[in-house]
């Protein structure tokens, strides 16, 4: 399994084939039936060339009459009808199996993607994962109309037609076989060139998707810092990269087409020359040569289609290998499994934890921490102290570069950037608890102080919110997130400035909601306001990625250290706000 340095893995040909074979389990009998039906259908399609050759010989000898013509016509019409019907049924059956297997693969892709640890997705780039679950799925699905008829019909046509040529007169088959190296060389060239070009095209699409996603997600930052032109140039640069790679892919297609045309000309010329020689020596008839030419003409189309569709097939396989690369990520990597400490009295335990982003400076350095079960811990410190990173490491979003982290299996995190999904209010809440009743949902909203939200919505829980629906304020969105957490009922709840709503009008209400949510469970609060920290059982003060103080609010105030100074500044700020 290959991968870029930081990207998600891409499987090789053998691994892709093995996974597709596993996915076909339960459909193999149906696939065998498709193959048998395809061979029979193409066998029936050999009747018209043979019938025309027979008619030519009868005409040449003067023994053909109206009955002969009518009989040959009827046989050709019947064989064409049966062959078309068999081909249609073959394609329909093959398409159903194809899309069923693709649907299974898509479900597994989404299921595995949802269990990937966030640190791995962020390192690879969210655009990569989105591209695999959208562009690549579309590429594989769109390949069906071109690939299925070829693989289920033309491959059989080639085999059966070659057998018919050999049965008619082996020199005709030999003449066609002599030209096959031209097709083999074309295929060899294409297999060396095509996959690399298509992988580059897909990688460029992933990079473009990443740029677009970052620009959309960071819209406010882009506007705030005047980065619109810079982001526009970045998107345009990646878009042009996609265009360049697409042009390279289309050039490869044109070069393949030229090689196929050469093979077609040589094939016709070889069979014509052999037919002339055989007829001249009395070893074949004009009817036989006619049949051979019709069989070769019948072969040229499928041969060209089979080789040229490899262009589409290679593009689809490049996408398929990227999809399967995600599906086959080992379960140990897909789920950053947490374990419950053997000492049930301790919910979270950190030992000598260190972390840095990429090659940057250490963000966490030698962190050691124990959080007893049921305790509420506040983490405070100046901006850049490592508070959010510590929360992410404890939650499993990031893996520590050194040290160990132990936490409960059922851990939930709420950050300041909460998301309202497009859908009903009920759908947004039941994401956390699919089996929750309406009574449970209303109770969760009531506990988080959002009960009055239902009175504002025309259809109560059935009101569509989020994009295209009823807009929620930032405070309401945070209350919704807290209600989700309450319904999920985790053992450990981490609130990373989850109540640091833009305006302060609802601050007290949100603080009460967070206290209600944390009741009865272990909680970690990355405190935006020191009033939140003061209500917690214990406070950890961080600076420059290290824990510099720990204790209760009263203990830290009495110590007169960093926390005491932060508290004094906080109090002064609150006093100033009150005077104003």
Q: Which residues contact 280 (CB under 8 A, 6 or more apart)?
A: none
Helix spans in 489-524 (H): 507-518
The domain boundary residue, chosen from 272, 300, 334: 334
- Same domain as 314, residue 406: no
Note whether 268 and 406 are same-domain residues: no
| CA distance readout (Å), 382 to 387, 523, 567, 575 | 9, 21, 12, 20
Q: Are residues 102 and 176 in the same domain?
A: yes
Per residue in 124-174, pLDDT (tens digit) is: 666 677 778 777 888 888 887 777 777 766 777 777 777 777 777 778 778
* 369 and 259 within one domain: no
Strands 376-380 and 522-526, sheet pairing: parallel
The angle formed by the CA atoms of residues 568, 574 and 575, to the nearest 5 degrees, is 90
Residue 549 lies in a domain: yes
Q: Do 278 and 214 belong to one domain?
A: yes
| 225 and 128 in a common domain | yes
Q: What is the CATH number of the domain that holds 178?
A: 1.20.1560.10
Let me know whether 553 and 444 are in one domain: yes
Residue 339 included in any domain = no
- End residue of a domain, out of 283, 304, 334: 334
- Whether residue 562 is contained in a domain is answered as yes
Structure tokens at 521: 């469970």
Tell whether 340 is covered by a domain: no
Q: Are residues 405 and 465 both part of a single domain?
A: yes
- Give the E-state strand segments of 246-375 in sequence order: 346-356, 362-372
Looking at the domain assignment, is residue 384 inside a domain? yes
Instruction: Let me know: does 230 contact 257? Beta carbons within 8 Å.
Output: no
Whether residues 282 and 218 fall in one domain: yes
Range of the domain at 497: 346-579
Residues 6+ apart with CB under 8 A from 222: 215, 228, 231
Whether 267 maps to a domain, the answer reads yes
C-alpha closest to that of 387 among 507, 524, 569, 499: 524
Residue ranges of the chain with per-residue pLDDT less than 70: 1-7, 117-127, 152-153, 307-308, 311, 331-344, 498-507, 573-580
The number of domains in the chain is 2
> Is residue 396 domain-shared with residue 468, that is, in the same domain?
yes
- Kindly report the length of the chain: 580
Looking at the fold, whether 317 and 373 belong to one and the same domain comes out as no
pTM of the model: 0.56
d(CA 126, CA 209): 9
- Of 334, 369, 385, the last residue of a domain is 334
- pLDDT at position 164 is 73
Q: What is the DSSP string of 309-336?
A: HHHHHHHHHHHHHHHHHHHTS-HHHHS-
Which domain CATH number covers 458? 3.40.50.300
Residue 445 lies in a domain: yes
Question: Quick one: how far is CA 431 from the chain centroid?
Answer: 21
Residue 278 in domain: yes
What span, in angstroms and rounded, lies between the C-alpha atoms of 308 and 455? 62
Let me know the angle formed at the C-alpha of 400 by 399 and 404, rounded to the nearest 5 degrees: 105
- Do 303 and 253 reside in the same domain of the chain? yes
Rounded-to-integer distance, Cα 211 and Cα 238, Å: 8
CA distances from 580 to 479, 566, 569, 574, 576 (A): 28, 21, 17, 10, 6
């Amino acid at each position: 399994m290959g991968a870029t340095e930081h990207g998600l893995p891409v499987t090789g040909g053998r691994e892709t084939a093995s996974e597709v074979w596993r996915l076909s389990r339960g459909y193999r009998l149906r696939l065998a039936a498709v193959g048998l039906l395809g061979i029979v259908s193409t066998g029936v399609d050999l009747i018209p060339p043979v019938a025309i050759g027979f008619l030519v010989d009868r005409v040449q000898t003067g023994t053909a009459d109206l009955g002969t013509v009518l009989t040959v016509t009827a046989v050709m019409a019947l064989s064409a009808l049966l062959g078309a019907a068999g081909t249609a049924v073959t394609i329909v059956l093959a398409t159903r199996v194809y899309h069923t297997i693709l649907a299974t693969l898509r479900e597994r892709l989404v299921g595995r993607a949802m269990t990937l640890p966030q640190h791995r997705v962020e390192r690879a780039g969210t655009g990569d994962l989105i591209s695999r679950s959208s562009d690549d799925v579309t590429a594989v699905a769109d390949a069906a109309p071109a690939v299925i008829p070829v693989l289920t019909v033309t491959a059989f046509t080639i085999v059966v037609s070659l057998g018919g040529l050999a049965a008619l007169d082996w020199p005709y088959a030999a003449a066609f076989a002599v030209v096959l190296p031209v097709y083999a060389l074309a295929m060899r060239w294409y297999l060396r060139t095509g996959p690399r070009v298509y992988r580059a095209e897909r990688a460029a699409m992933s990079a473009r998707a990443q740029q677009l996603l970052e620009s959309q997600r960071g819209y406010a930052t882009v506007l705030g810092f005047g980065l619109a032109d810079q982001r526009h140039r970045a998107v345009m640069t990646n878009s042009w990269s996609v265009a360049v790679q697409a042009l390279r892919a289309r050039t490869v297609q044109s070069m393949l087409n030229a090689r196929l045309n050469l093979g077609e000309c040589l094939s016709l010329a070889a069979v014509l020359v052999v037919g002339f020689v055989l007829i001249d020596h009395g070893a074949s008839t004009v009817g036989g040569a006619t049949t051979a030419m019709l069989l070769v003409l019948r072969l040229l189309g499928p041969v060209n289609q089979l080789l040229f569709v490899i262009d589409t097939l290679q593009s689809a396989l490049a996408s398929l290998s990227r999809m399967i690369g995600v599906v086959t990520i080992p379960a140990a990597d897909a789920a950053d499994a947490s374990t419950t400490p053997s000492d049930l009295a301790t919910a979270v335990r950190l030992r000598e934890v260190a972390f840095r982003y990429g090659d940057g400076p250490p963000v966490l350095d030698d962190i050691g921490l124990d959080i007893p079960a049921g305790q509420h811990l506040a983490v405070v410190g100046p901006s850049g102290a490592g508070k959010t990173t510590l929360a992410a490491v404890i939650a499993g979003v990031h893996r520590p570069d050194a040290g160990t982290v132990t936490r409960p299996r059922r851990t939930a995190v709420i950050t300041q950037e909460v998301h309202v999904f497009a859908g009903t209010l009920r759908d947004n809440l039941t994401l956390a608890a699919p089996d929750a009743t309406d009574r449970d949902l209303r109770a969760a909203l009531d506990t988080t102080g959002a009960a009055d939200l239902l009175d504002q919505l025309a259809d109560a829980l059935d009101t569509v919110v989020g994009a295209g629906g009823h807009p929620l304020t930032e405070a309401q969105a945070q209350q919704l997130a807290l209600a989700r957490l309450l319904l999920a009922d985790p053992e450990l709840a981490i609130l990373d400035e989850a109540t640091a709503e833009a305006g302060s009008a609802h601050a007290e209400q949100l603080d009460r909601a967070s206290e209600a949510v944390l009741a009865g469970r272990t909680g970690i609060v990355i405190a935006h306001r020191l009033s939140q920290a003061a209500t917690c059982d214990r406070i950890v003060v961080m600076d420059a990625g290290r824990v510099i103080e720990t204790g209760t609010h009263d203990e830290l105030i009495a110590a007169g250290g960093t926390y005491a100074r932060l508290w004094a500044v906080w109090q002064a700020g609150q006093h100033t706000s009150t005077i104003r």
